[in-house]
Structure 1
Amino acid sequence: MRTAALQRQPETGFGPAVAPVPAPASKSLLRFITCGSVDDGKSTLLGRLLWETHSVFEDQAEALANDSRRFGTTGDTPDLALLVDGLAAEREQGITIDVAYRYFGTANRAFIAADTPGHEQYTRNMATGASTADCAVILIDARKGLLAQTRRHSCIVSMIGVRDVIIAINKMDLVGYDEATFRRIEADYRALIPGLGFTTVHFVPLSAREGDNVAKASAMMPWYSGPSLLTLLETIETSTGEDAKFRLPIQWVNRPNAEFRGFSGTIASGEICPGDSIVALPSGRTSRIARILTPSGDAQSAGAGAAVTLTLADEIDISRGDVLVASGQATRRVTARLLALSETAVVPGKPYLIKLGTAVTGARLIALHHAIDVHDYTERPAAELAMNALGLATLHIETPIYATRYADCRTLGSLLLIDPLTNEAVALGTVEHTAADAGDKKTVQARAGATAFGRIALAAGLIVPGASRDEVMHRISWRIASALLFAGLALAVTGSVTIALGAGFADLVLRPALRVLHDRLWQLGLATRHRPVPPALGIDGGGI
């Protein structure tokens, strides 16, 4: 049997144990994920990679043999998926639920692999694993071809910014290593690539269970002349495309005593040196870097990924959530691609909390532009985003924050939407573009507020904070259509054109004005009802 090699005793199968830790720092590091639909063999593939690179301890190999007899699904041979699926529920059900991270290395490269779940219910966990990946290995079952979850995972990988992918067409042993099957699936997936924006796409036919084309070329598929999966992982070159502009989200104001005040965080992008000019956002105050402190002491420079404490030449009011940048401005409006994570749908008009970098503030979804059909990646109109749905939306933020395009900086271009009542994360997003601060006099809101009719339109809901011109016209056109319908009903009932015109005018103008009057009277009533009673002034000055 070709899988007999897996039945060797640990002491003769591997020789000295190899610790599953990253290779020395001199080697490049690749972070990748395995993803795809449920039962496509993701965990088995990662287990096979661990086995073939001798990244399994002897006691782990013995535990694998025992666990395979209890939970295995591969008969007499060790079930390599159990090297990754460690939760009791995962072993009982034979599926991956949580993201499992594994570390291994070869002579050429170090790897951090994330095995992500394929079940639709756990799509949010897959997105979490993809958020730190440089490369994605997308598995497809050769018997089933492309499934809805395969397409969804591909879209999420693209949304998260992974541009280099390997399409591993697995279980080729179950289709007799048929080249026609491989070519058909390859053609089907290539038809999706234009809508995904991938930079490089490699196709590999393999069998994770048998080891074909995983670590070395297989004699069972002589028609395939390309490299094995492990060879591709060792040689693939990835790039995030992020720019080199300096950005530091403030995580903590370091104030150990009255003589020191520094601002701590992890540099999101770019490089900084003492003497460089910075802008503190959202305040817009400027200063220069006085010192850069690291765990090793003062440094003359620091780059992306470094945990630092910066001191400034000037006293500036900065707190957690602020951002130090080389240049830029704050915003109160972002347009982002969203992935709904919760069973509670993401709905326009509903208030949320937004977490972007280290900042957390209120936000409102003011427009849901479209949802994405995962079957063909077309844009479809949508009233809400149900769980696992993807779409494009515009958010208005209560207080100015710093945000940038996800393509320019992942740390400050990614966001979470949180339900303020349950504290549940309802959506993750990647920023497509930002708008200027809503305080800008060129915005629709500011221009509208300069006139009486504009103030009525704002109060009546025709114009919402942060709304674009197209969104305002959409609301006004709906109000006009409503007024025409009301006038038509009045004409049908009374037969009088005059009454019909009056009714339409009342619906168009008087109803918003009455709403403004009602809101003001309501607020006046609340203020009167809850007005505090001044305490009596005692002889000892109590109450002052």
Structure 2
Amino acid sequence: MNAINEQWQTASDTSVLRLITAGSVDDGKSTLIGRLLLDSKGVFADQLKAIAGSKYTRAPDSALDLALLTDGLEAEREQGITIDVAYRYFATPARKFIVADAPGHEQYTRNMVTGASTADAAVILIDASRASDGVLLPQTKRHSTLARLLGLRHIVVAVNKMDLVGWDQAVFERIHAAYRDLAERLDIPAFHIVPLSALAGDNVVQRSERTPWYQGPPLLALLESLPVDPVREQDQARFFVQWVIRHNGSGPDAFRGYAGQLQGGAWRVGDALQVLPSRESVRIAGLLRGAQAVDQALPGDSITVVLDRDVDLSRGDVLVNAGSQPPLDKDFEADLCWLDQQALNPARLYWLKQGTRLTQVRIQAVLTRRDIHELRSVDWSGTLAMNDIGRVRLRARDPLVLDDYDTQRATGAFILIDTATNQTAAAGLIRR
């Protein structure tokens, strides 16, 4: 018992890696996550008993259908596919993990965007039996493109089902060469690649004797070693006001604080800030984490900020460090991944939600559309349909903080909402 407690105490002090599994249909994404959960002791006995007796199992008689650990919807289990993004959590002595299992079907590409938007790494699965000639499937290209656009720092290629090709090194090398070419065309600076079998567990948690020609670590050890985002410089701090907290009115012990989540940098009591879009100058008089006063706040902390004077500051406004001067404008360009079944309509207004800020925008022009097959952007003057990716020019009703997405995710990302249906129409990445 003491050993278990020590393991969890160690894990509670370690970093968290957020990752997403992606790839084509039946590449084994759900099975891989199930194997990671099983071999890292992240599954309870009653869960194993439940999937062993499931009427939807597709595994051989002597094996567990590990995909059932993540495919929780009835339709997913019935069809043997992933439809919605499933999140799973597990920990090892070295690190905590939050895993998003994304669907492989093209019609659910938008779900992959949702899962990847908060991820640090992507595990792109490739079915070795279907890519044995070195030809990659369209969804592999599409998900790799999205991972690059969304700025994921780490790409891990898991060549799955190597047991179906007899652990042939030549097959692995052909797939490696094909993905290397894809990475160069997408400007992916580096990637890792692992041959494995999610169903049998080879090279997932433990090194496999079937791949003496592979000198790298198993998948879990590789994921444990990936560096997470370091704390960014202080002048990159961004803080969207989520809630204005007030009590005791104008009495001697009146309180006014601004709640939200700090992104991109650290703050200390006494730091000079600027309010956007009003450009008022203020200082931090106090920081609260819950009800506890603290001297410093770090990126990702949910805090309440108390300022040295009262200013006109409400939900959707942004606090930044004085002197950082991020771009503030109504006109900008962005990459859009269109998510709605109704195509983009330039004649309509859309709601734009950036952090907690909500305003209306009009899409003035579609500039380019990305050709997934040719892996390049082509000039385009038409519309964007569901799952299309394109560069557009927009004009907002109100000024927005326009950080480039590659340098600051908190203010560089937004969603568009259909004003008539309230459906999420697109995910956007600001480009300056």
Partner Cα distance (1:185, 1:243) in 2: 39
Q: 8 Å contact 1:163–1:200 — kept in the other structure?
A: no
Of 231-240 and 101-110, more deviation after overlay is shown by 231-240
Point out the more displaced range, 24-33 or 71-80. 24-33
What corresponds to 2:314 in structure 1? 319
TM-score by length of 1: 0.73
Alignment of 1:78-117 (within 5 A): 78-117=64-103
Specify the alignment match of 1:304 in structure 2.
Answer: 299
Shift, 1:256, TM fit: 2.1
Name the counterpart of 2:339.
Answer: 341
Q: 1:92 to 1:176 in 2, by over 3 A?
A: same
- Pair 1:252-2:248 in alignment: no
CA contact (8 A) 2:8 2:93 kept: no
Q: Secondary structure at the match of 2:12?
A: coil
Q: Determine whether 1:223 maps to 2:208.
A: no
Structure 2: segments with no counterpart, 5+ residues: none
Structure with more of its chain in strand, by fraction: 2
Assess if the C-alpha contact under 8 Å between 2:11 and 2:93 holds in 1: no
CA distance in 2, matches of 1:174, 1:403: 49
Question: Secondary structure of 2:288's partner?
Answer: strand
RMSD: 2.0
Structure 1 residue 381 corresponds to structure 2 residue 379:
yes
Q: Please identify which structure carries the higher helix content.
A: 1
Q: Deviations over 1:240-268 (max 9, x none)?
A: 79654221100011112312211111112
Q: 2:11 is paired with a residue of what secondary structure?
A: coil
Taking structure 1 as reference, are residues 23 and 154 closer, same or farther at Cα in structure 2, changes over 3 Å only? farther
Residue identity matched to 1:302:
A
Whichever of the two has the greater Rg, that structure is 1
Deviation at 1:100? 1.2
Match of 1:205 in 2: 195
1:73 aligned partner: 58
1: CA distance between counterparts of 2:4 and 2:77? Answer: 25
Deviations 1:453-504 (A, max 9, x none): xxxxxxxxxxxxxxxxxxxxxxxxxxxxxxxxxxxxxxxxxxxxxxxxxxxx
| 1:362 alignment partner in structure 2 | 360
Q: Which has the higher contact order (CA 8 A, sep 6+)?
A: 2
Tell me the residue number matched to 1:26: 13
Aligned length: 415
> Residues 312, 239 of structure 1: CA spacing in aligned structure 2 closer, same or farther, 3 A cutoff?
closer
Q: CA deviation at 1:22?
A: 9.8
Distance change in 2, residues 1:416/1:399 (3 Å):
same
Q: Which amino acid aligns with 1:395?
A: L
Determine if contact 1:242/1:407 at 8 Å carries over to the other structure.
no
2:262 counterpart residue number: 267
Cα distance in 1 for residues equivalent to 2:231 and 2:4: 38
Post-superposition, which runs of at least 4 consecutive aligned residues in structure 1 deviate over 6 A?
Answer: 20-23
Determine which of 156, 159, 168 is the counterpart of 2:146. Answer: 156
Structure 1 partner of 2:180:
190
Q: Calculate the TM-score normalised by the size of structure 2.
A: 0.92
| Closer/same/farther in 2, CA of residues 311 and 424 from structure 1, 3 Å limit | same
Question: Which amino acid counterpart does residue 234 of structure 1 have in structure 2?
Answer: E
Distance 1:282 1:162 in 2: 29
CA gap of 1:95–1:239, structure 2 versus 1, over 3 A, is same
Asked if 2 retains the 8 angstrom alpha-carbon contact of 1:34 and 1:42, the reply is yes
Match of 1:284 among 274, 279, 286: 279
Summarize the alignment of residues 132-531 of structure 1 with structure 2, pairs less than 5 Å apart: 132-145=118-131, 146-239=136-229, 243-244=233-234, 245-258=236-249, 259-326=254-321, 327-328=324-325, 329-382=327-380, 383-433=382-432
Identity %: 46
Where structure 1 has 5 or more consecutive residues not aligned to the other structure, the ranges are: 1-15, 434-544
